[in-house]
Amino acid sequence: MADIDLGALKTQKEREFGTRGAGLTRFDEDFIDAANRAIRRINRDADLDTEISEISTSEGTMDLDSAYEDVVSDGISFYMMLMGRRPAKNAEPLIKSTEDRFIEGIWGIASDLRNELSVSDTDDDTYDIIGLGKLGG
C-alpha cells in the first residue's frame, strides 16, 4: 500500500487549472485548502476507523492508499472550482459531474473498507463452529 504523492497530484492540478509562474504561491495555498476539505469530507462520509490526517504542505504524501488517488483528485478539483478556480481550456470538468464522481468514490472507499473488515472478521476461527471443535453431529 503506497500513500498518495501530493507533489505529483499538485502538478496534475497545475496542468488541469492552467496555473504556472507567478500565481503558484496562491495556487499552493488553494491546493492545500481544497485537499483538506476533500480529506474532511472523506473522513466524515466514508466513516473511517482511522481518519486521514490533514496536510500542511503540498509536498510529501497523504496517508491514504494510492488506489484512491482518483477520488482525492476529484475532491480537490471540486473544491478548487468552488473557490473560483476554473479549469484550463479543453479541460472541461463541470462542478456537478466532478462532485458526483467524488461522492461515488467516497462510497467506494467506505465499501472497500467495510469489505476488508468483513473478511478480517470471518478469518477469526474463534466464532467458527469448526474452530470451536463442534465438527459433525
- Interval 73-92 mean pLDDT: 82
- pTM confidence score: 0.74
Residue 18 and residue 29: Cα distance in Å, rounded? 16
pLDDT tens-digit profile of 7-44? 999 999 998 888 766 567 889 999 999 999 999 999 98
Residue 66 and residue 42: Cα distance in Å, rounded? 14
Take residue 41 and report the three cell numbers written for it: 469530507
**In terms of pLDDT, which residue wins out, 88 or 66?**
66
The amino acid present at 124, given as its one-letter code, is D
Rounded-to-10 torsion of CA 12, 13, 16, 20: -100
For residue 117, the Cα-to-chain-centroid distance in whole angstroms is 19
pLDDT tens-digit profile of 100-131? 888 888 888 888 877 776 665 555 555 444 44
Take residue 8 and report the three cell numbers written for it: 505529483
- SS3 at position 4: strand
Residue 112 and residue 114: Cα distance in Å, rounded? 6
Q: Which residue has the cell 465499501?
A: 111
